[in-house]
Amino acid sequence: MNGTAMKGVADRSPEDGAAIWCEAGWYEGSIRESIRLTVDSAGRVASAVPGSRSEPGDLLLSGVVFPAAANAHSHAFHRVLRGRTHTAGDFWSWREQMYSAAGSLTPGLYEQLATAVFTEMLVSGYTSVAEFHYVHHAPDGSAYPEHGMELALARAAVAAGIRLTLLDTCYLSGGFGAGGVGTPLDTRQQRFGDADADAWLERFASLQAAVRKRFAPEQVSVGAALHSVRAVPEAALARIAERLPAGIPLHIHLSEQPQENADCLAATGMTPTGLLHRHGLLGPRLAAVHATHLTDADIALLGAAGATAVFCPTTEADLADGLGRAAELRNAGVALALGSDQHAVVDPWLEMRALEYGERLRTGRRGSFAPADLHVAASDAGAAAQGRTAPGLEPGKACDLMAVRPHSVRTAGSRTDQLAFSATAADVAAVVVGGRLRARNGQHTTLGDPAALLQAAIAAVDSAPAPVHETRLEGTRHL
């Protein structure tokens, strides 16, 4: 590979017969040279022929082309906390600062911020994202008209060109209470909540209809989430298990903190995983986010259910959450996906190798996850957790790709099949979504520099008036 600049057809919609030529690419689990792809009108790979010459009109991708990453867990508004919350405290003190950030958002402000965050994701190599969304209402808990916050996120995704699975999140209580009844939401949590499980289910169905009316499903789809077992009382879990339609992705923060496990055991006599099992909520559609502090029995239950565990290694490190039992989950039959969560960094390559490095730190052994395993976690499993077609170069896959420079200061000398251990988002030279070029050299093809978008959006958040119950933190207006 000569590392020549990318040439050929630029930003264009896929059509039958459209083609992409890859100097090299990750194809059927190994690196192959000179792969020519044709793309159908749905943006999927129609054919792939390694060892092919390019043809006039092809989109040419130099370097090594990989399946794009599928971000299986995101809270877009957390991006404003980067560089401001890292020096001390624990998860629970960090959460107080997160509440302050959430308190400032309006639909317009969130659309601006999410557009910038989704653009940062896209130029870094993510082409789909599961947005775990719970900032539903105004700060006083009153509803915005016509799903204002949710549709703002959808418009942001369309602007950035990233595929969005909007995980509308049920958040009913502030913690465990006596008799299986949760404690009331506090003032900072009012905008997250609904009156009860039935009210959330009704709003969820209404949101599904609103999104179907406005957006193509390959661009924006709606999935479901339970914030956590501490935020959804046991009676509500039972009601949701009874009424939530089959086939809809269902995500939950699970056993992120030991305190959550202890509180759940005290209130219900079960671990969070056991509680989900009691109510029939374990299954192939379930994505357990973090899954850090699990018992052997928890791991066996998740594996038997064919569930997914979504690790967010850079966030879990930043928040001192601990190291999950990744290889044991994998060996039990649990699929492993990856997310950027609070966006302390937005870099699928760092998340990939942090999965393996975390396992090395936990076990004292190398090689639990080979590069092929890491690419599956970053791409296939993340897409499956969203209910989406996996990205890649093989026929039938979504033509969502990222081309990586193999001769940068970070990757020079690397074996191309080990770029998962040397590349970063800074090495992503081009990103293709559905056969369409969306980013090159860190710049979005229509929105330009994501840094400028982020700077403007975060400045707007900083200057927004804080709700009266919020406490301003040192170094920012209210974050």
**Residue 339, both tokens:** 């997310």
* pTM: predicted TM-score of the whole model, two decimal places: 0.93
Query: Count of CB atoms within 10 A of residue 41's CB?
Result: 14
Asked if 42 contacts 218 with a C-beta cutoff of 8 angstroms, the reply is: yes
* The predicted structure's pLDDT at residue 98: 72
What is the 3-class SS of 400-421, one letter each residue? CEEEECCCCCCCCCCCHHHHHH
CA distance 290 to 310: 6
Length, in residues, of the chain: 479
SS3 content of the chain, % helix, strand, coil (to 5): 40, 20, 40
Give the residue among 191, 94, 190, 80 at the shortest CA–CA distance from 137.
191
* The predicted structure's pLDDT at residue 92: 60
**Residue 47, both tokens:** 């054919």
Asked if 433 contacts 161 with a C-beta cutoff of 8 angstroms, the reply is: yes
Phi, psi of 316, rounded to the nearest 5 degrees:
-60, -35
User: How far separated are the first and last CA of the chain, in Å rounded?
Assistant: 47
SS3 429: strand
Asked if 291 contacts 255 with a C-beta cutoff of 8 angstroms, the reply is: yes
Residue 288 C-alpha from the chain's centroid: 13
* The predicted structure's pLDDT at residue 17: 56
Question: Dihedral (C-alpha) 106, 468, 462, 100: value to the nearest 10 degrees?
Answer: -80
Secondary element (H or E) of residue 349: helix 348-363
- Alpha-carbon distance values, 31 to 28, 262, 269, 284, 460 (Å): 8, 47, 50, 31, 44
Conformation bin of residue 290: beta by default, left when phi > 0, alpha when psi is -120 to 50 = left
- Name residue 376's amino acid: V
SS3 138: coil
Asked if 170 contacts 227 with a C-beta cutoff of 8 angstroms, the reply is: yes
**Residue 112, both tokens:** 């601006």
DSSP string, 305-330: HT-EEEE-HHHHHHTT-----HHHHH
Asked if 176 contacts 167 with a C-beta cutoff of 8 angstroms, the reply is: no
Catalytic residues: 290, 341
Q: Strands of 436-440's sheet, edge to edge? A: 45-49, 30-39, 18-27, 59-67, 401-404, 428-433, 436-440, 443-444
Determine the Cα angle at 246 with ends 379 and 163, to 5°.
35
Q: Which residue has the tokens 């039959």?
A: 333
* The predicted structure's pLDDT at residue 101: 72
- Alpha-carbon distance values, 88 to 81, 84, 210, 462, 474 (Å): 14, 11, 42, 22, 14
DSSP string, 31-65: EEEEEEEEE-TTSBEEEEETT----TTPEEEEEEE
Per residue of the chain (479 residues), what is the pLDDT tens digit? 543 333 333 344 455 558 999 999 999 999 999 999 999 999 999 999 999 999 999 999 999 999 999 999 999 999 998 987 787 777 667 667 777 777 789 999 999 999 999 999 999 999 999 999 999 999 999 999 999 999 999 999 999 999 999 999 999 999 998 766 789 998 888 999 999 999 999 999 999 999 999 999 999 999 999 999 999 999 999 999 999 999 999 999 999 999 999 999 999 999 999 999 999 999 999 999 999 999 999 999 999 999 999 999 999 999 999 999 999 999 999 999 999 999 999 999 999 999 999 999 999 999 999 999 999 999 999 999 999 999 999 999 999 999 999 999 999 999 999 999 999 999 999 999 999 999 999 999 999 999 999 999 999 998 888 765 443 333 332 22
* The predicted structure's pLDDT at residue 216: 97
Phi, psi of 67, rounded to the nearest 5 degrees:
-55, 135
